[in-house]
Chain A
Amino acid sequence: EAQVTQNPRYLITVTGKKLTVTCSQNMNHEYMSWYRQDPGLGLRQIYYSMNVEVTDKGDVPEGYKVSRKEKRNFPLILESPSPNQTSLYFCASSLGQSFTEAFFGQGTRLTVV
């Protein structure tokens, strides 16, 4: 089954404790993207990747890092999480750069206290 898998689904952590949210797709897609969703703000793009070792900043990259060492994986790294990074995070992948056939993960709800 074609899917994007995010882990964990839920996470509560403390300020400053490094964490990684994993994202994996099984469709050999070149394009992957991370979004955060906040009430009243919709989904905003954090980072974007066009292929292995090629990434670019989205609209809200501050406080986040990503890596794309393999095509299937696109982890989101918070080196020093802060409470303003409490949010719902979605990973997406697509065969094409216009995301007309996008697949989304189920989301990761992160709380930073």
Chain B
Amino acid sequence: AQSVTQLGSHVSVSEGALVLLRCNYSSSVPPYLFWYVQYPNQGLQLLLKYTSAATLVKGINGFEAEFKKSETSFHLTKPSAHMSDAAEYFCAVSYSGGGADGLTFGKGTHLIIQP
């Protein structure tokens, strides 16, 4: 079965500082990996996804993530945080091997931006 672990339920950074949100996955077959963002009182928006092409994936709003198979990780980064980045971030995994699991989400990381 697939699973996702997000380290840190809350992460606080200063405006202009590096954002690093951690995600580790467990999958017995090659995974597809995703980061979703949820702004307050809104639905889910896809930030970026890895689907076995380039290991460094660039997404919207200046975010990027790198798939590291040896570390089973897919950490999300942004060089310089902006106040508008304050939101809940979810890492998710699915896999290409067939089956009915769909998307499995992590528990989420609440990103707080300090002025």
Q: Which of B61-69, B79-87, B100-108 lies on the face that meets chain A?
A: B100-108
The 6 closest A-B pairs by CB, nearest first: A42-B107, A43-B105, A98-B94, A42-B105, A106-B43, A99-B103
Interface size class of B (residues with CB under 8 A): 20 to 34
What residues of chain A lie closer than 8 Å to B103, measured between beta carbons? 33, 43, 45, 92, 99, 102
Chain B residues with Cβ below 8 Å from A58 are 102
A99 and B107 CA atoms in complex are apart in Å by: 19
Binding site of A, secondary structure by majority: helix, strand, loop or mixed? Answer: strand
Least Cβ distance of A34 to chain B in Å?
A: 10
Q: Which residues of A contact B (CB under 8 A)?
A: 31, 33, 35, 40-45, 48, 50, 56, 58, 90, 92, 94, 97-100, 102, 104-107
B1-59: which residues lie under 8 A (CB-CB) from chain A? 6, 9, 32, 43-44, 46, 49, 51
A77 CB, min distance to chain B CBs, angstroms:
19
Q: Could you tell me if A100 and B94 are in contact, using CB atoms closer than 8 angstroms?
A: yes
A99, B9: Cα distance in complex, Å: 25
CB atoms of A33 and B9 under 8 A apart = no
CA distance A93 to B60 in the complex (A): 22
A90 touches B43 (CB 8 A): yes
Which residues of chain A come closer than 8 Å to B70, judged between CB atoms?
A: none
Q: Which residues of chain B come closer than 8 Å to A107, judged between CB atoms? A: 43
